Structure 1
Amino acid sequence: MSLKALRNVQPWPPTDPFVYRFYEVVMLYGPVIKDVAHEMFGDGIMSAIDMKLDLKKVEEHGAERAEFTFNGKWLPYRRF
């Protein structure tokens, strides 16, 4: 299933538990993910405009799990 992003403003801190967990993942793992991405692709950012998000339900050891895939264009940092 592909999801199209709807942009809206969320309260801070997030009041919805699902949204709060996404913020928690980014706050906890974001710096490490950034370091690994920079090692793999060079200094830059992933586009949030030219991005696809895929959500799948997977079974692992008899339990349902959620698998999220963020597929975004890599944009190298440029000097102006």
Structure 2
Amino acid sequence: MDKASMQTTILAAKGRLDLSWAAIAERIGMSPVWTTSACMGMNSMPTEVADKLCDVLELPAEVSKALQAFPHKHWDKAIPTDPLIYRFYEMINVYGGTIKELIHEEFGDGIMSAIDFSMDISRVADPKGDRVQIILNGKFLPYRSW
């Protein structure tokens, strides 16, 4: 089973069992963001976690094997048309240079790791309409000189 078939199978089981990502993550002992990312094919799961997820979603062993496979992290070079994903492109286009300048000013010449990284997504109540809060937490990796 490839990652695309795995994703389709997991989403169908999630819908059939009427489970949220948060509920699935809690039952396997992992974060909702990481669990969702692995189920969408962008991370690999350790055997024990993949097996547990398959138990929760009542899925066969082939799904566990696909969850354990190392992903090929790629994306289309075209700007997505999905409105939510497009807004992230818009944010980076508008604020990417600012983020880079502020990180360099605070930490020096380097990057924020997307490997030694965590993310949290939460709802923040607001009288004008609830807000989405996204916290990106990545290790700073300075560029080396040699």
Provide Cα deviations, 1:4-55, integer angstroms capped at 9, x if missing partner: 1324524611121111000110111000111011111111100011110100
Provide Cα deviations, 1:41-78, integer angstroms capped at 9, x if missing partner: 11110001111010010012342000000000100011
Q: RMSD across aligned C-alpha pairs, in angstroms? A: 1.7
Gaps of 5+ in 2: 1-21, 23-30, 43-72
What amino acid maps onto 2:102 in structure 1?
A: V
Q: Which residue of 2 aligns with 1:13?
A: 79
1:41 corresponds, among 96, 99, 107, to 107
Q: Which residue of 1 aligns with 2:11?
A: none
TM-score by length of 1: 0.87
More helix by share: 2
The 2-side partners of 1:62 and 1:31 are apart by: 29
Q: Which residue of 2 aligns with 1:59?
A: 125
- Segments ≥4 residues shifted beyond 3 Å: none
The structure with the largest alpha-carbon Rg is 2
1:77 aligns with 2:143: yes
Q: Which has the higher relative contact order, 1 or 2, with Cα contacts under 8 A spaced 6 or more apart?
A: 1
The 1-side partners of 2:128 and 2:82 are apart by: 27
Offset of 1:79 from its aligned partner? 2.2
The 1-side partners of 2:93 and 2:103 are apart by: 16
More strand by share: 1
